[in-house]
Amino acid sequence: MSMYYYENRLNSFTSKKKKWPHTDKNYKATPEMLAKAGFYYLPAPRSPDNVICFLCHKSMEGWDPTDDPNIEHITHSPECAWALCYCMTRKFADKKLPSNLDDDHSPSSKRMEELRLMTFGNWWPHEGKKGWIGTAKKMAKAGFVFASSIHTPDNVMCTYCEVSLGDWEQKDDPM
């Protein structure tokens, strides 16, 4: 099962064999929040709430009611492209991004473009296709991360406004 699909990550929390143990409504670490933050559920006998990032493979456990998956991901895996691209912007979801972001974390920085490109890995379905304008590199430059879904394998998302676009055609230009 490919965990870069959001739906697969979300479904990992509700399988018949294993269910997420923190069902209390007071927990910030809900299956939906964890899956969006890039995590899938893979419990172990001594770690019943263990999750793993699909991109950086960081394993995390011991979730407390106040733990925010986005902040925890950035804190414990500060080099993860998904944590920096998606989780950092979700940290400021109700507010505008702070104007004092350092140059490396500015949406238009070369560093953020490189991080967005890393989210595409080897998964972009149109990479290397003859005549296709929308390469992974162009998608990242346009501000998109790879956010594939089972129904839309070429889905991309702007993490700043959460607009998603999919079903790309050969001549579509992300810019």
pLDDT tens by residue, 83-109: 888 777 665 555 554 455 556 667 788
Of residues 49, 50, 53, 43, the one with CA closest to residue 79: 53
Exposure string of 132-166, with b = 16+ CB inside 10 Å and e = fewer, is bebbbebbbbbbbbbbbbeeebbbbbbbeeeeebe
In the CATH scheme, what architecture does the domain 103-165 have?
A: Orthogonal Bundle (1.10)
Question: Using CA atoms in the order 134, 135, 141, 143, what is the torsion angle rounded to 10 degrees?
Answer: 60
Q: Which of 88-92, 115-119, 128-132, 136-140 has the lowest mean pLDDT?
A: 88-92
Is the pLDDT at 44 greater than 70? The verdict is yes
The pLDDT confidence band at residue 60, using thresholds 50, 70 and 90, is: very high
Mean pLDDT of 4-19: 90
- CA pair distance 120, 40, nearest whole angstrom: 18
Q: Is the dihedral of CA 93, 99, 73, 86 positive or negative?
A: positive
pLDDT at residue 15 in the model: 82
pLDDT of residue 92: 53
- CATH for 6-79 is 1.10.1170.10
Examine the pLDDT at 159 and tell me if it is beyond 60.
yes
Where does CATH 1.10.1170.10 sit in the chain? 6-79, 103-165
Start-to-end CA span in the chain (Å): 32
The answer, yes or no, to whether residue 67 has pLDDT greater than 80, is: yes
The DSSP letter of residue 104 is G
Distance of CA 18 to the CA centre of its chain: 23
For residue 97, the model assigns a pLDDT of 47
Q: Give residue 98's pLDDT.
A: 46
Q: Which pLDDT band, with edges at 50, 70 and 90, does 55 fall under?
A: very high
Cβ neighbour number for residue 116 with a 10 Å cutoff? 28
- 70/118 Cα distance (integer angstroms): 18
Q: What's the pLDDT score for residue 173?
A: 95
